[in-house]
Amino acid sequence: AGDNRFTVNVNEAGELELAQLPGLGPVMARRLVDHRREHGGFATVEGLLDVPGIGPATLAAMRPYLRPIRRPKPPPREPSGP
């Protein structure tokens, strides 16, 4: 049998998905979404510690359900000069 655990992308998931994570409920999910809206997406899973109310124990409980965060590709550089 496979692992049927659901996982979420913290940079794309909405409040309803996030509220299902261990240690999060509707209030913390809202804070996470608000933080993401104000500060942009999370570069690392550890960046979730910047959200008020998420500490090391909450992050540890959530971690198995979080998809790895892929860094966005930088935009292509414009050639310089004429």
- DSSP 8-state class, residue 44: S
What token pair was written down for 62? 């959530």
pLDDT score recorded for residue 68: 86
Chain centroid to Cα 70, Å, comes to: 11
pTM value > 0.85: no
The amino acid at residue 58 is T
The whole-angstrom separation of Cα 76 and Cα 32 is 30
Residue 63 has pLDDT above 50, yes or no: yes
C-alpha closest to that of 10 among 59, 56, 55: 59
Residue 15 in 3-state DSSP?
helix
pLDDT in tens, 6-50: 899 999 999 999 999 998 999 999 999 999 999 999 999 999 999
